[in-house]
């Protein structure tokens, strides 16, 4: 038995390069429940990070009482992380919303579904008549199922015709999608988790994998404990476990000043080019834009980069050498890049490193532009985040016609006259009053959006009608005119797709509490009550349950890169999840994409014609066509510019925000799991030893962190970060503690309303702040000691551990590893090149 | 030779454009992307002005005889609200287009004079101007429907 609070990654199962990752079955049951007490095991996959670990839910007497990993699944080979073990079902039955609520005389009161839905429909109809569909905004999630997003997407795009629909995926994964579109023409993860099993070097760019995707990190650790281990390079301003591993493996830890990633990346690409670590044949046959790339990065010598980023020039050279000379390199990218300044350009430079060396589409050679949330990929592909369903291009009239035909609606209804409205702009329109109807589903913007004082003002605007659909009362439901109680994971059926394109089915294990309904049923009910019709007067939404919604979605993906037509609920039952594209020719799915170096950049299939990475200006379609991309990838970057909200005398520190391993988002689930809550009960402020000394702050002292926009207060952890940088965990809002006017604890009180010009992802990771000591501490800061928030001086702080109820069974080697998924030689949905090979190499 | 007339025109219209980017940045602080990018682009134009200095030195710039009507007029003040933003961005677009064509005219003269240095400069700067115009067009297209249909 293992305490997986103390031992986050569990026991090792080392293996050699190129061999299969051994199985380890992880299982955790509620205290007092024995395995023989479990009446049913119900198939699902975990939704507490983007990794997508397959699991079975234990059910006893109509309650969820435990969880175990599925050994035959390609994603996790039986393992689960601490959030899955201690937070996936423990919230079950606590504090739930069980009846619809409506606001009467300023108070939220219980009502029935008819009354609540009629009130929504009445307001919706009135605004459509008076103003039109531009008055409606939808802000959704990275937590719902594919079927729910697609239904919402069709309602918004073919029913109402509003361009204002986006998800909180804008805050977490928008840059992944944008970087893939800019480089390869379309969203779609090139690499696979299996690349970890055979790489020689692993680069993690702004990705604290050890905390954000613990099971993926177990996979890395098992390589690091085996023979011929890979070298790790970590780019992170904090001394994370990943950074420790980088140093121990003979790699490099680069800790650039927050906001300078692009300068660092331009420097790495500069080294690759000047040192001659470029596969010229691959570059000339499979890419466009080398000359301009080389010109742009020319000025970024190690010395210049060192000045901007404050990293040693030798470390930069060493990192470039590891990338340039290792046989097989895998890179992963996450929030350290996505939520920072010049996010898309910096993330595209990761793609460029691989394109320059031709390290794509082969075992151990890949890029993982990661996601933050479990179902973010579905928000992106189903049309719930603004992009059109099936990775279609809003500027391509043929793509609009395909959708108009599929949905049997007038093409002019489908919003495609301008780029879909991104979340930050939706909130601006709400602020200005041109959106008066805002429907928020499965997300908690009153804790997770940047600059919370502003968000609270917006949500409190008098004329605004707010619908909030959630499983729990949150900071956001406080502002609602109508609250709809939603069923959650285990209480409904649906599918979702993880960061390496693997699709899982999650079955319903138990009944939802009270009158709560699935999000799908709520959206279907709205469509019915609004009487949304197609061109022949038939109901627009022709499905009625998860499986029929999935079948409808399959038709939408036919022939596209994200082809689901080879999948079905039956196929996803038992056995492993399956990565798309999966169609008749590739019935077992596709492990990695682009084996032949042909990308979906042909104008007739690409999802976007691309943007200027400095400004976000859209490339005109004719310019794009004139480049004749013909399946070649784009080598794009931009010049580095200093970040907005730069430190000053008044606000001398740079503040970054992030996660801890024990919580997810605003803790609505993980904060209700006893082990997780105990491991990281309250917020903290992480200071470097040097900064703490200068400020006269000791471990546990109460400090105030303040930007030009707002402030938060919490005890100080004297950590291991770099001087000049302050770290705040973003999980801690007010649903369990009180109100922001008592003691502000949310990191987002002080973050800024500013975003990347291409992906429109907000800049959570660069806020200029000042730090003041408020009072001496009574005890140590409540920050975990097991991870990046470990204290500088371990002797001063008791170690984080679980209690008796944390015992988890781990059984290594109980089964053979699942078989390999094939990688197609040519990627489905991608046209073969038209130009002869010789012409492509001009 | 009348090239100095156009070198002067280029110099003065670049100054107007840089000022206008700064004005729009200052006047639309509630649109953070506009505020920040207009600052970045103003600096980009400043760099063009700096790069133009040797050309001005070589050919001189002739402003005195330049009829007033040929000047590019800058922004007087910025406007407010959704439609106001739209109009300000459109004014920037007009000014940027004027600069774009002025680079083209100077570039034609550089061709005729076989002035490699000036040709190189025109080539690089025209690309930047194109990027500025593309961003303005993208942002205007995005803002237009909401400002014209739904804004209060």
Q: For residue B145, which residues of chain A lie inside 8 Å, CB to CB?
A: 134, 163, 417-418
**Residue A520, strand partner residues:** none
Strands A252-254 and A231-235: parallel
- The residues with which A468 forms a beta bridge, in sequence order, are A440, A483
CA B20, CA B13: separation in Å to the nearest integer?
A: 10
B31 shares contact with chain A (CB less than 8 Å): yes
CB proximity A296 to B under 8 Å: no
Residues A386 and A270 in one domain: no
Indicate if A112 and A199 belong to the same structural domain.
no
Confirm or reject contact between A618 and chain B (CB < 8 A): yes
Mean pLDDT score across all residues of chain B? 91
| Residue A776, both tokens | 């001496």
**Tens of pLDDT, residues A491-534:** 999 999 999 999 999 999 999 999 999 999 999 999 999 999 99
B69 pLDDT band (50/70/90 cuts)?
low
Q: Please state the domain count of chain B.
A: 1
**CATH for A343:** 3.40.228.10
Q: What is the pLDDT of residue B70?
A: 56
Best CA proximity match to A135, nearest among A143, A126, A148, A144: A126
Same structural domain, A219 and A250 = yes
Same domain, A423 and A489: yes
Report, as an integer, the average pLDDT of A473-490: 97
Q: Which domain holds residue B113?
A: 3-63+80-150
Rounded Cα distance between A231 and B16, Å, is 53
- A695 in reach of chain B (CB within 8 A): no
pLDDT value of residue A629: 96
Query: Do A461 and A366 share a domain, yes or no?
Result: no
Which residues in A lie closer than 8 A to residue B41 (C-beta atoms)?
A: 615
Last residue of a domain, one of A329, A351, A370: A370
Final residue in a domain of this structure, among A343, A370, A397: A370
Q: Confirm or reject contact between A71 and chain B (CB < 8 A).
A: no
Average confidence (pLDDT) over A721-726? 94
Which chain A residues are within 8 Å of B141, Cβ to Cβ? 417-419
A110-128 burial, b at 16+ Cβ within 10 Å, e below that, comes to bbebeebbebbbebbeebb
Write the pLDDT tens digit of every residue in B88-129.
Answer: 999 999 999 999 999 999 999 999 999 999 999 999 999 999
Q: Which residues of A touch B24 (CB under 8 A)?
A: none
> Confidence band (pLDDT; 50, 70, 90) for A835?
confident
A452 found inside a domain:
yes
Expressed as residue numbers, the domain containing A488 is 1-173+371-602+809-817
Please work out, in degrees rounded to the nearest 5, the angle formed at the alpha carbon of residue A399 by the alpha carbons of A397 and A401. 70
Distance CA A149, CA A577 (A): 20
Tell whether B103 lies on the interface with A, counting CB pairs under 8 A. no
pLDDT of residue B61: 75
In a domain, residue A608? The reply is: no
CB contact under 8 A, B142 and A755: no
CB nearest B145 (choices: A134, A620, A755): A134
Span A20-35, pLDDT tens digits:
999 999 999 999 999 9
Q: What is the mean pLDDT of chain A?
A: 96
Confidence of residue A796 (pLDDT cuts 50, 70, 90): confident
Residues A117-142, mean pLDDT to the nearest whole number: 97
Contact state of B137 with A428 under an 8 Å Cβ cutoff: no
pLDDT at A638 over 60: yes
Q: Does A429 touch chain B (CB under 8 A)?
A: yes
Query: What is the rounded distance in angstroms from the CA atom of residue B33 to the CA atom of residue A762?
Result: 11
**pLDDT value, residue B67:** 53
Of A163, A417, A433, the CB nearest to B152: A433
Instruction: Name the residue facing A432 among B132, B138, B151 (closest C-beta).
Output: B151
Cβ–Cβ contact B135 with A under 8 A: yes
> Using the beta-carbon criterion (under 8 Å), do B131 and A612 form an inter-chain contact?
yes
Closest CA to A380 of A231, A216, A167: A167
- Residue B87 pLDDT > 80, yes or no? yes
Conformational region of residue A82, where left means phi above 0, alpha means psi within -120 to 50, and beta covers everything else? alpha
Q: Say which CATH number the domain at B59 has.
A: 1.20.1260.10
Reference A764, options A478, A457, A461, A447; nearest CA is A447
Mean pLDDT of A695-708: 98
Assess if residue A642 is contained within a domain.
no
Listing DSSP states for A241-260 in one string gives HHHHHHHHTT-EEE-PPTT-
**A559 and chain B in contact, CB less than 8 A:** no
pLDDT for the residue A249: 98
Question: DSSP class of residue A716?
Answer: E
Q: What angle do CA A574, A579, A585 make, to 5 degrees?
A: 95
Same domain, A422 and A313: no
Over the stretch A191-216, which tens digit does the pLDDT of each residue have? 999 999 999 999 999 999 999 999 99
For residue A729, count other CB atoms closer than 10 A to its CB.
26
Q: What order of strands is seen across the sheet that includes strand A63-69? A: A2-3, A807-812, A24-29, A63-69, A54-60, A40-45
Judged by a CB distance cut-off of 8 A, whether residue A534 touches chain B is: no
Residue B73 has a pLDDT of: 72
Residues B37, A418: C-beta atoms closer than 8 Å: no
- Provide the shortest C-alpha distance from residue B62 to chain A (in Å): 34
Residue A92 has a pLDDT of: 84
Listed residue (A816, A819, A829) closest to A22, CA to CA = A816
Portion of chain A with pLDDT greater than 90, in percent = 96
Chain B, residues 36-95, CB within 8 A of chain A, namely 36-37, 40-41, 43, 82
Q: What is the mean pLDDT of residues A389-411?
A: 97
Mean pLDDT for the stretch of residues A343-349: 98
Strand A101-104 vs strand A482-485: parallel, antiparallel, or unpaired? antiparallel
| CATH number (domain holding residue A2) | 3.40.50.740
A793 and A768 belong to one structural domain: yes
Give the whole-angstrom CA distance, residue A762 versus residue A768.
15
Where do runs of H (alpha helix) occur along A146-213?
A: 146-154, 169-172, 174-184, 209-212
> What pLDDT does B75 receive?
81
């Amino acid at each position: 038995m293992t305490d997986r609070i103390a031992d986050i990654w569990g026991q090792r199962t080392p293996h050699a390069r190129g061999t299969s990752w051994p199985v380890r079955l992880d299982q955790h049951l509620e205290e007092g429940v024995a395995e023989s007490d479990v009446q049913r095991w119900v198939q699902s996959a975990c939704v507490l990070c983007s990794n997508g670990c397959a699991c079975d839910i234990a059910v006893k007497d109509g309650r969820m009482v435990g969880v175990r990993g599925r050994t035959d699944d390609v994603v996790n080979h039986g393992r689960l992380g601490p959030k899955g073990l201690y937070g996936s079902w423990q919230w079950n039955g606590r504090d739930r919303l069980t009846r619809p609520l409506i606001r009467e005389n300023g108070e939220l009161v219980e009502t029935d579904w008819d009354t609540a839905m009629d009130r929504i429909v009445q307001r919706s109809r009135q605004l459509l008549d008076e103003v039109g569909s531009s008055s409606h905004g939808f802000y959704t999630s990275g937590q719902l199922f594919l079927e729910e997003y697609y239904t919402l997407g069709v309602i918004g795009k073919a029913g109402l015709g509003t361009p204002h629909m986006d998800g909180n995926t804008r805050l977490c994964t928008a840059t992944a999608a944008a970087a893939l579109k800019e480089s390869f023409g379309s969203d779609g993860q090139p690499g696979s988790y299996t690349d970890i099993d055979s790489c020689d070097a692993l680069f993690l760019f702004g990705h604290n994998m050890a905390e954000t995707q613990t099971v993926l990190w177990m996979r890395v650790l098992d390589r690091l404990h085996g023979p011929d281990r890979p070298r790790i390079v970590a780019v992170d301003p904090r001394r994370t476990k990943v950074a420790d591993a980088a140093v121990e493996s003979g790699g490099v830890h680069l800790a650039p000043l927050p906001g300078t990633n692009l300068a660092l990346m331009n420097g790495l690409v500069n080294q690759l080019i000047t040192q001659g670590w470029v596969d010229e044949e691959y570059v000339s046959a499979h890419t466009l834009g080398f000359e301009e790339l080389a010109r742009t990065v020319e000025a970024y010598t190690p010395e210049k980069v060192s000045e901007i980023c404050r990293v040693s020039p030798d470390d930069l050279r060493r990192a470039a050498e590891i990338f340039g000379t290792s046989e097989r390199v895998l890179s992963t990218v996450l929030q350290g890049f996505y939520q920072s300044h010049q996010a898309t350009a910096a993330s595209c430079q990761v793609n460029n490193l691989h394109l320059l060396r031709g390290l794509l589409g082969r075992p151990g050679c890949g890029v993982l532009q990661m996601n933050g949330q479990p179902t973010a990929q579905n928000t992106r592909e189903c049309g719930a985040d603004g992009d059109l369903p099936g990775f279609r291009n809003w500027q391509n009239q043929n793509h609009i016609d395909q959708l108009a035909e599929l949905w049997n609606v007038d093409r002019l209804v489908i919003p495609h006259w301008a780029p879909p409205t991104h979340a930050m702009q939706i909130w601006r329109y709400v602020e200005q009053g041109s959106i008066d109807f805002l429907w928020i589903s499965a997300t908690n913007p009153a804790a997770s959006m940047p600059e919370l004082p502003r968000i609270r003002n917006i949500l409190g605007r008098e004329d605004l009608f707010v619908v909030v659909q959630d499983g729990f009362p949150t900071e956001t439901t406080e502002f609602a005119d109508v609250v709809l109680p939603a069923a959650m994971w285990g209480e409904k059926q649906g599918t979702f797709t993880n960061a390496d394109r693997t699709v899982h089915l999650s079955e319903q294990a138990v009944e939802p509490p009270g009158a709560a309904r699935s999000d799908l049923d709520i959206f279907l009910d709205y469509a019915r009550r609004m009487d949304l019709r197609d061109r022949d007067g038939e109901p627009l939404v022709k499905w009625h349950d998860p499986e029929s919604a999935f079948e409808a979605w399959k038709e939408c993906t036919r022939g596209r890169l994200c082809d689901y037509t080879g999948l079905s609920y039956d196929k996803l039952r038992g056995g492993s999840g399956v990565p798309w594209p999966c169609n008749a020719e590739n019935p077992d799915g596709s492990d990695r994409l682009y084996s032949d170096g042909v990308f979906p950049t042909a104008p007739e299939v690409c999802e976007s014609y691309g943007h200027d990475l400095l400004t976000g200006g859209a490339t005109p379609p004719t310019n794009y066509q004139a480049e004749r991309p013909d399946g070649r990838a784009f080598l794009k970057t931009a010049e580095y510019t200093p970040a907005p909200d730069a430190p000053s005398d008044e606000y001398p520190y740079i503040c970054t925000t992030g996660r801890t391993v024990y919580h997810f988002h605003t803790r609505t689930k993980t904060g209700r799991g006893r082990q997780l809550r105990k491991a990281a009960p309250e917020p903290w402020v992480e200071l470097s030893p040097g900064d703490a000394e200068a400020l006269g702050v000791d471990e546990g002292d109460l400090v105030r962190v303040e930007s030009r926009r707002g402030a938060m207060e919490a005890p100080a952890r004297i950590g291991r970060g770099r001087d000049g940088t302050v770290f705040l965990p973003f999980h801690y809002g007010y649903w369990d503690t009180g109100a922001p006017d008592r003691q502000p604890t949310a990191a987002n009180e002080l973050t800024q309303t500013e975003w990347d010009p291409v992906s429109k992802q907000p800049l959570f990771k660069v806020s200029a702040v000042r730090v003041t000591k408020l009072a001496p501490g009574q005890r140590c800061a409540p920050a975990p000691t097991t991870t990046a928030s470990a204290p500088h001086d371990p002797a001063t702080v008791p170690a984080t551990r679980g209690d008796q109820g944390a015992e988890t069974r781990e059984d290594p080697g109980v089964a053979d590893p699942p078989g390999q998924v094939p990688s197609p030689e040519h990627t489905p949905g991608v046209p073969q090149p038209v130009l002869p090979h010789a012409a492509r190499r001009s | 030779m009348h090239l100095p007339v156009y070198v002067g025109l280029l110099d003065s219209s670049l100054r107007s454009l840089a000022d206008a980017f700064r004005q729009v940045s200052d006047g639309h602080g509630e649109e953070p992307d506009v505020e920040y990018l207009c600052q970045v682009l103003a600096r980009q134009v400043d760099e063009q002005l700096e790069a133009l200095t040797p050309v001005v030195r070589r050919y001189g710039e002739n402003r005195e005889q330049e009829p007033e009507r040929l000047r590019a007029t800058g922004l007087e003040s910025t406007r407010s609200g959704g439609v106001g933003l739209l109009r300000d961005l459109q004014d920037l677009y007009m000014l940027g287009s004027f600069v774009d064509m002025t680079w083209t005219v100077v570039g034609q003269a550089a061709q005729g004079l076989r002035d490699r240095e000036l040709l190189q400069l025109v080539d690089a700067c025209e690309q930047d101007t194109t990027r500025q115009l593309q961003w303005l067009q993208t942002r205007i297209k995005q803002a237009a429907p909401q400002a014209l249909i739904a804004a209060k």
